Structures are given as C-alpha cells and as structure tokens.
A and B are shown apart, each in its own frame.
Chain A
Amino acid sequence: MTTFHGRRRRHATVRVLLLVAAIAVFLMPLAWTVLASFGLLPDNSARPPSWAGSITLDHFREIGIAEPTFWQELATSTVASACAAVLTIACSFPAAYGLARSRFRGERLLTQGFLVLASLPAMAYVIPLSDLMRRAHLVDTFAGMVLTEAAVTAPLAVYVLHGALRQLSPEWEEAAFLDGAGLVRLLWQVVLPLTVPSVVATAIVMFVLDWNLLLVPLVLTSGEIKTVPVAMMDFFTFERELDWPTAAAALLVSLVPLAILAGVFHRVLERFSLDSRRTS
C-alpha cells in the first residue's frame, strides 16, 4: 500500500505543477491586459525589452472620456442580462419540469432537440428577426432586447434544467399532491426549493452568456440602448487604435463583475451540468 500512496503523492505533485503551468499560459494574455490597464506597458524597442511606465489609475478615468456613456452601458448590461436570465429561467423551468415528468414517445428526442437549438448560432435567425422586431416597433427598446436575449439562451436552460429535474425523485411531489397542493404551489414550494442550486447555476451561466452577447444588441439597437460588448467595438475605431490602455481598462471593468459572480458562486456552478444521467 505504501507504494500505492507514494505513487499517488508523486502524481499529485506532477498534477499541481501541470496545473500551475496551464493556468499561467491561459492567464498570460489577461495578465498582459491588466498590466496595460494600470499603465504598465512593455518597451519593445529596448534590447532586451523592458517594462515602462508607472502604476496609474488614469486609464480607468479615461474610459469615461473615450466612451462618455460607458458607466451607463455597464448598468444597462447588468440590468438587461439579469432580466433576460430571470425571464429565461421563468420560461424554461416549468417547461423542463413538464418534460421531465411526462412520459411520451420522443421525449428524449425533444430534449436533445433543445440542445441542437442551443447550438444554433444567433446569426442563423437574427437577420429576419431584426426585420420582425422593426415591424413590431421593438427595435431600440429594452423589452425587445431582453426578450430576444432570453429566447437565444432558453434552449440551453431547458436542456440543463431538464437534466436536473429528472434526478429529482417524484416522491416529494406525490406527497404534496396528496396534500392537495395545486401545480403552481407544487412548483414554487416543493420542486423549486429542491433544485435551487441547479437553477441558480443555470441562471448565472445565462447571465454570463447574455452579458457577452454582441450580435443581438448590435442588430436590435441603434444607439438608444447600448450594452458593453457593443461599446467595446467603439474602443476599436481606427483613429483610437493606439489607445490600448483605455480599452484594456474597459475590458477589465466589464470582466470583473463576471469574475466576482463566478468566484462567489463557484460551488453552486458545479451543478451546471449537460449530463442528464448524472447522479449527484
């Protein structure tokens, strides 16, 4: 047994070393960006290249000069993504429950169909959608954008929530049903509390997906409402091309809320699973 454990310990060391190396490689571009946002830029004309500049917060202030409405766009993105995530869950959760508790031919096919739908790029339908939304006077409205974002992410939510709800033993529902609970009370007071981790995990992933959507807001808005990804494009006009530290600062500001969210909820996020057979 000692050799077994010894081998294990050696493997653990190798594992940590590999992980550190992998994380260093994956985070290097981001570290470069963080340094640039604080004014630390490499001087590549020197031999060997050196680091120039001193730490400053000026570039974060300059965000507001380069993009005067940036902070407002940050608020728009936050509220819109939150609304879209909640709407997605509100529509997907009952449907996922209905799917999980129905026995009909093709139930599995339908579920897999939702995953295929989730894989469909927004570009596939956004061109006619922009036309329909214009005709419905929903272009450049908050509601139009949120509804579309919710629809884009809903299929994935249905697939994931269906997997989670299938794991749930129906006994609890049977008991509540015998107590005379209606469907709404059953969902709200029995099923939802039992699946909170999965629902929260799904909502967070939906929030991240909505937050980072570019095509939908780009096509459905024309200035009245602007989200952060659309604003990111403004940091890249040719006359401003040299203003990398400000773009880096804006990038960092738009990443931090997501990073905090992922950090705070990292345990819950383990419940976001595409495996409908999982047992945990």
Chain B
Amino acid sequence: MRLTRRDRLFLFTPLAVLLSGWLGLPAVLGLVATFTTYSPFATTVRFSGFDNYVRVFRDGQFGAAITNITIFTLVAVPLELGLGFALAYLLRRPIRGRGLWRVLLLLPWLVSPIGNGVMWHFLLVGATSIVDFGSGWLGLSNIASPIGDIRLALPTVIAIEVWREAPFVTFLLLPGLAAIPNDLWEHSILDGASWVRQVIDVALPSLRPLLLAVTMLLVGLSLGTFDSVLILTGGGPGTATMTPALYSYNQAFAINNWPIGAASAWLIAGSVLGVGLVYVRLARRAAI
C-alpha cells in the first residue's frame, strides 16, 4: 500500500497548521522582529540590525544568566541521567509491587515546576523548614537558608531540579532497559562480569539511541529553566540563580523591554537548536 498525495495532505495538514501557526510563525516573526525596534505598543518601528543582541550581551545580568545556565546544564543533566539510570537499573528486574514503586518514584516529576518552587521555598526557608529541623537535631543553632546564600543558591536550585527530573529519566529509561533480552544479561553474569561491566557492556550499547534522546530533552529543559526559579529565588540572591529564560520573561513582561526580551529568548532558541544539530548527527550515527 502506498500513500497518495491526497493521503499525505490529509495526514499532515492538521499538525502542519497547529505547529506552523502556534510555533513556526511566532518563532520566525519573532526572529525578524528582534532586528527591529518592534514592540507591541511601539508607534514607530525601524530596522536596528544587531542592536538588540548587542544590548543583551552588554547586560551584566544576562552574562550572569549564561554562566549560571551553563553550570546548571553541565551539572544537572549528567546527575539526572546518572541517578535516573541507577534507579531504572534497580527497577529493571520484576520485583514484587514494581508498578507501585514506579508510580511512587514518578511523584516528584508530577508536581508542577511552580508548585515545586513554592514547596521547596517553604522546605528551605522559615520556621518550619527541613533545614531548621535537621540543624536542630544536629544540635546546631538555626542556620541560614541555602537559597539566600549567594554561593549555595545555584547548587540548591540544581539539586532541586535533579530531584524533580531524575525520576522522569527513570520513567523514560525503564522500558528500554526492560526490553534488553534476558540472555544478554545472563551471559554477562555467567561470565562473571561485575555489575559495572554489565552496565558498560550490556546496558549502555543497547540504550544509546534512547539515552541520546533523553539527553536532548533534558538539555532543552535545562536551558529553558524558568518556572522553578521564578518563585524559589526569583533569580537571586543578586544574580546567583538568574537564568536566560527568567531574564527574557522579566524583560518582556515585567519591565516591558520587549525587544530585549525577544532577542534574549531567541538566543535560548538558538542554543537549543545548536545542541539539536549535534544531537541529530549523533543520533544518525547511533542508528546505523
């Protein structure tokens, strides 16, 4: 059976309309607008070249955001992958109540990022926090909240993100891990391979395409970090946890500096698309 032209039209049109109208068109028009002084309420619009981008890069806040998000991504993504894989590895073989384990483990991911921010704020700040509880048990006087500390704020935000995303990674990796034929493992075990060798020789090669796809999603998620810092830290203290997405949002919607917001948002898009190019190349090699 072959699909005719009419068939293809029928199959692809709904998606094409949805994606071009709500994703493609705004993205392209938005890109064009970043080279002008356009803003929704501007009376005159003129071409301004790379002016907006130059101004974004000259802003120290954005520079801090780039540094933060680079550290964030480089630390959070490997931790999420590692921890997520470890948990999936533990859940790999059928054990009693595996379904329940899986659902319980998915709970952190089911909390919305914004709810997560509210929750962790109260867990880390204030009279009833886990921090005070723990330090009280250790006999210490109440210590300051880590999200108020300029050196600890970013590591804390990263840890919270890992707490939320690692279970999602487990959820994504488990079906792939469970689909690895049993005799591959048995062979490896009978050969006396340690679990480290089992992971390297059996699990990783089979999971390569899946791991690449998950990594791509995680990098995109991480580069767009917004909801989780919005309430938890608001980018602070100072600019310690400022992210590019939060910067764009603040510029466009909080202080009505539309062109700067749109231009910095396009830099996020550009970075994700750049990573996407690398991903596509690697994924093609993994498929062969």
Residues of A within 8 A of B (CB): 4, 12, 15-16, 18-19, 22-23, 26-30, 32-33, 36, 41-42, 44-49, 87, 90-92, 94-95, 97-98, 101-102, 108-109, 112-113, 115-129, 131-132, 134, 147-148, 150-152, 154-156, 158-159, 170, 173-174, 177, 183-184, 208, 211-212, 214-215, 219, 228-229, 232-233, 235-236, 241-242, 244, 247-248, 251, 254-255, 258-259, 262-263, 266-267, 269-280
Residues of B within 8 A of A (CB): 1, 3, 7-8, 10-12, 14-19, 21-23, 25-27, 29-30, 33, 40, 87, 90-91, 93, 95, 99, 101-108, 110-115, 117-123, 126-130, 132-133, 136-137, 139, 142, 163, 166-167, 171-172, 174-176, 178-179, 189-190, 207, 209-210, 213-214, 216-217, 219-221, 223-224, 226-227, 230-231, 244-245, 248-249, 252-253, 258, 261-262, 265-266, 268-269, 272-273, 275-276, 279-280, 283-284, 287
Instruction: Tell which of A91, A267, A274, A278 touches B15, judged by Cβ atoms closer than 8 Å.
Output: A91
Task: Summarize B's interface: helix, strand, loop or mixed.
Answer: helix
Q: A16-B95, A29-B130, A127-B261 are in contact. Are A151 and B119 (CB under 8 A)?
A: no
Q: A120-B220, A121-B224, A124-B266 are in contact. Are A30 and B108 (CB under 8 A)?
A: yes
Instruction: Tell which of B90, B114, B120, B276 touches A232, judged by Cβ atoms closer than 8 Å.
Output: B114
A101 contacts across to B, CB distance below 8 A = 1, 3
B119 contacts across to A, CB distance below 8 A = 29, 33, 247-248, 251
Q: How far is the CB of B144 from chain A (nearest CB, A)?
A: 14
Q: A98-B3, A121-B223, A128-B262 are in contact. Are A274 and B210 (CB under 8 A)?
A: yes
Q: List 15 A-B contacts (CB under 8 A).
A: A19-B90, A29-B130, A32-B123, A44-B136, A118-B217, A121-B224, A151-B21, A158-B15, A208-B110, A212-B111, A215-B227, A229-B113, A247-B122, A277-B209, A280-B178
Instruction: Tell which of A94, A255, A258 touches B14, judged by Cβ atoms closer than 8 Å.
Output: A94
B230 contacts across to A, CB distance below 8 A = 214, 233
The answer to whether A30 and B107 touch across the interface, beta carbons within 8 angstroms, is: yes
The answer to whether B90 and A275 touch across the interface, beta carbons within 8 angstroms, is: no
The residue of chain B having its C-beta at the shortest distance from the C-beta of A257 within the complex is: B110
Q: How far is the CB of B103 from chain A (nearest CB, A)?
A: 5
The answer to whether A109 and B280 touch across the interface, beta carbons within 8 angstroms, is: yes
The answer to whether B107 and A27 touch across the interface, beta carbons within 8 angstroms, is: yes
The answer to whether A278 and B176 touch across the interface, beta carbons within 8 angstroms, is: yes
Instruction: Tell which of B8, B163, B268, B280 touches A112, judged by Cβ atoms closer than 8 Å.
Output: B280
B258 contacts across to A, CB distance below 8 A = 127
Instruction: Tell which of B93, B178, B268 touches A123, judged by Cβ atoms closer than 8 Å.
Output: B268
Closest 8 CB pairs of A and B: A121-B224, A119-B220, A128-B30, A116-B276, A151-B22, A124-B269, A98-B11, A212-B112
Q: How far is the CB of A44 from chain B (nearest CB, A)?
A: 4
The answer to whether B217 and A266 touch across the interface, beta carbons within 8 angstroms, is: no
Instruction: Tell which of A19, A118, A236, A271 touches B220, judged by Cβ atoms closer than 8 Å.
Output: A118
Complex alpha-carbon distance, A241 and B234, angstroms:
15
Instruction: Tell which of B1, B231, B284 touches A236, judged by Cβ atoms closer than 8 Å.
Output: B231
List 7 additional contacts besides A29-B108, A127-B265, A247-B119; criterion CB under 8 Å. A44-B136, A123-B265, A128-B26, A132-B26, A147-B21, A154-B18, A233-B230
Complex alpha-carbon distance, A108 and B286, angstroms:
12
The residue of chain B having its C-beta at the shortest distance from the C-beta of A19 within the complex is: B90
Q: How far is the CB of B119 from chain A (nearest CB, A)?
A: 5
The answer to whether B30 and A251 touch across the interface, beta carbons within 8 angstroms, is: no
Complex alpha-carbon distance, A127 and B248, angstroms:
9
A117 contacts across to B, CB distance below 8 A = 19, 23
The answer to whether A98 and B8 touch across the interface, beta carbons within 8 angstroms, is: yes
Instruction: Tell which of B12, B29, B137 touches A49, judged by Cβ atoms closer than 8 Å.
Output: B137
Interface centre among A41, A90, A128, A274 (most CB of B within 10 A): A128
The answer to whether B136 and A150 touch across the interface, beta carbons within 8 angstroms, is: no
Q: How far is the CB of A71 from chain B (nearest CB, A)?
A: 17
Instruction: Tell which of B10, B40, B103, B167 touches A131, judged by Cβ atoms closer than 8 Å.
Output: B40
The answer to whether A119 and B115 touch across the interface, beta carbons within 8 angstroms, is: no
Q: A36-B128, A154-B15, A211-B112 are in contact. Are A120 and B269 (CB under 8 A)?
A: yes
Instruction: Tell which of A48, A123, A219 touches B136, judged by Cβ atoms closer than 8 Å.
Output: A48
Q: A116-B272, A129-B22 are in contact. Are A19 and B221 (CB under 8 A)?
A: no
Q: How far is the CB of A104 from chain B (nearest CB, A)?
A: 10
Instruction: Tell which of B8, B112, B174, B262 touches A214, judged by Cβ atoms closer than 8 Å.
Output: B112
